[in-house]
Amino acid sequence: MTIDTQGLEAIIKKVMDTIDFAEETGRPLTDGKDGIFEDIDDAIAAAAKAQKEYMKLPMATRTKIIDAIRKELGKKENIETICSKVVEETGMGDYDCKLIKQKLVVDKTPGVEDLVTEAFTGDDGLTLVELSPFGVIGAITPTTNPNETIICNSIGMLAAGNTVVFSPHPRSIESSLITVRLINKAIAAAGGPEHLVNTTSKPSLEASQKLMKNPAIRMLVATGGPGVVHAVLSSGKKAIGAGAGNPPVLVDETANIEKAAKDIIDGCSFDNNLPCIAEKEVVAVDQIADYLIFNMKKNGAFQITDRKAIDKIAEMVYPGSLNRDFVGKPATYIAEKAGIEVPKDTRVLIMETSKDHTLAVEELMMPILPIVRVSDVDEGIDVSVELEHGNRHTAMMHSRNVEKLNEMAKRIQTTIFVKNGPSYAGIGVGGEGYTTFTIAGPTGEGLTSAKAFARKRRCVLVGAFNVR
């Protein structure tokens, strides 16, 4: 009789892991395959156990894991599967745009290279300032960019040495679970520990509240509306909040109007205006407003001029609060529901409004673009600042006047400010720099990356290692 010692050792290890888990949590490990747990507290407990193992591993292992995630989530068939599921279950956005977004986060989310060590040497010795993990991070993700947020947060958080437990939006649960499964498949292929990235199969408000209250969670990251951001900021834990915006785009008389019009329509229509960075309203100097509108119409915009029709659309999409039935829907769909006949290739519905009109004031996340006329660029800056509401999220400006570009940047104080380009250039699509889908204006981290998910630690050696 021969004994399979390797198989026996594997069984023993699995049993001991279960015992360890039970001792630490008070309950047996009954689920958790591919990082998916029924109870989010179980997911947190598994992540806490995994983080103890993960922190012992070298940086080279982190790099190997992240490379494997990029490879697995960058496969054509996986991108297509996830993006199809997102469109299917949320009913929002554009499939082709979602392909671009997922490829973006796979390719341009920073990894361990983001963790730069500082060193100070002198007569008194050597001091290192290094970026270390918080431990277990609880991350709440939105329905607008569910897979992109999970991928880029996983890369950044794992690069910093953390484990993560996601609480996804219930309306994007299936696509979120597929994404988590593929991430864990990649981690396993790279030889990483189990349960570095976990989630719950039953997302709910209660699950998110458990996430925020569990003492094993050392940091909270919320991507979503003002309510969820306020909740994590009130938790008493270290928190990063990526909240709402209402990005204006200002066009003055010095701009390349033809290019500005195309950029605005391209940015506004991208993924049916779901990205929180996308152009939500246009502020145009009167001198060029008519020509701007003419060129916007050449690039797929349909202008609505009837005041009753404009007000009807406003009442339909924002009847006192945002009507989510229209979020991320195509312009043609919105027009049809409003009883307005438009060409089949219409990408954006445009209309002139006052600066205090509902369509200009409220963030809609749909391809509806109000245009507010102003007398000059100075008034335009004032109106843009007013319409941004102090969210400090994103703004755009088309101008050749460097002085006014600079003034706008200083006045509006947004995390992202795009000059003479479409909004999506601000997250690396046709613009330089890394990407993220957790843009932390409220808490000041800005475009988050691995270093945002790490804490600074100082290590001091006295009287040595000064070789100068």
Distance CA 11, CA 451 (A): 38
Identify the burial level of 235 via C-beta atoms within 10 angstroms of its C-beta, where 0-12 means exposed, 13-18 middle and 19 or more buried: middle
pLDDT score of 31: 78
Percent of all residues in the chain with a pLDDT value above 70, rounded to a whole number: 94
Distance CA 386, CA 339 (A): 32
Over residues 169-201, the pLDDT tens digits come to 999 999 999 999 999 999 999 999 999 999 999
pLDDT score of 11: 46
Mean pLDDT of 144-148: 95
Q: What are phi and psi of 404, to 5 degrees?
A: -75, -35
pLDDT score of 106: 98
What is the DSSP secondary-structure string of 284-311? EEHHHHHHHHHHHHHTTEEE---HHHHH
Over residues 3-43, the pLDDT tens digits come to 455 554 544 454 455 445 545 544 444 478 999 999 999 99
Distance CA 43, CA 27 (A): 12
Q: How many CB atoms within 10 Å of residue 303?
A: 16
Distance CA 140, CA 166 (A): 6
Mean pLDDT of 105-112: 97
Over residues 50-83, the pLDDT tens digits come to 999 999 999 999 999 999 999 999 999 999 999 9
Q: Which domains does the chain have, with CATH numbers?
A: 20-243+447-458 (3.40.605.10), 248-432 (3.40.309.10)
Whether 438 and 393 have beta carbons less than 8 Å apart is answered as no
Distance CA 286, CA 442 (A): 33
Please, what is the average pLDDT of the chain? 93
Over residues 272-293, the pLDDT tens digits come to 999 999 999 999 999 999 999 9
Distance CA 145, CA 409 (A): 27
- Structure tokens given for 296: 């916007």
pLDDT score of 4: 52
Q: How many CB atoms within 10 Å of residue 69?
A: 28
